[in-house]
Amino acid sequence: MALNVIMLGPPGAGKGTQAERFARSRGIPKISTGDILREAVHAGTDIGKRAKAIMDRGELVSDDVMIEIVRERLARHDAVNGFVLDGFPRTVAQAEALDTTMEGRDPLIVVDLVVPEAELVRRLSSRMICAACGANATIEDVVNAAAGAEPRCGVCGGKLVQRSDDNEAVVRERLKVYHRETEPLVHYYRERPTFRTINGAQAADRVAADLGAAIESAGTGRPLGAHGVTKSRRVRA
């Protein structure tokens, strides 16, 4: 069975880090909408040109463009045995289109990382990014910096800095936008037998272990173990 995974969760929940970690451990691609959008623009594909024109006008890329870019990416050979989607779908319309794209393939496993809002604000307000390439600092980068080493990006070696817009007021507004625009996806997927929720407020290794167990249980139909959070035991945000 292919592991076709969607990672859901608010900003600061750690879904990007956990998606990368899980995908690497299983030998399947982590597909980030930001990455494939930039790739399409750089490659100059027809859909990439459309996306570039939209972004050059300062507008947000529309659902239909993002859906087409993701559809093209999922059709590649390396995604046949599974993938981890990070940042897509963001809307119910995108989720419905993804369901159509997935017809004839193994079912989607949807994992929602749940973290209390106070913890999200703390994480985002102290987040670091690379001044050179813009990548978010990984846990390993932060640990190295805490040990006395100069904080450097694990991707390109650039200097890690605080994001200028990661202050508490901006962070809380971003979370409001998430709850309003993206949280409806949880309701869209919640009743599926392959939907799982995970306590994302734990240590990263514990979250990774629970994520693996949740995905395995969704793929086999077995109940989730004691450490993870099932859809009947929600973590209050």
Q: Is 163 a catalytic residue?
A: yes
Specify whether 127 is catalytic: yes
Known active-site residue 15: yes
Q: In whole angstroms, give the CA distance from residue 181 to residue 174.
A: 10
- Phi-psi map region of 224: left, alpha, beta (phi>0 left; psi -120 to 50 alpha): beta
* Residues 6+ away with beta carbon under 8 Å from 86: 7, 15, 16, 19, 20, 30, 31, 32, 33
Our answer to whether residue 24 is catalytic in this structure is no
- Report d(CA 27, CA 178) in Å as an integer: 30
Q: Tell me, yes or no, if 50 is annotated catalytic.
A: no
* From 71, 163, 172, 234, the catalytic residue: 163
Q: Say how far apart CA 66 and CA 51 lie, in whole Å.
A: 8
CB 4 within 8 A of CB 109: yes
Candidates 26, 90, 192, 234; catalytic one: 90
Q: Which of 21, 30, 50, 174 is catalytic?
A: 174
Name the active-site residue from 127, 152, 206, 231: 127
What amino acid positions are annotated as catalytic residues?
A: 15, 90, 127, 163, 174
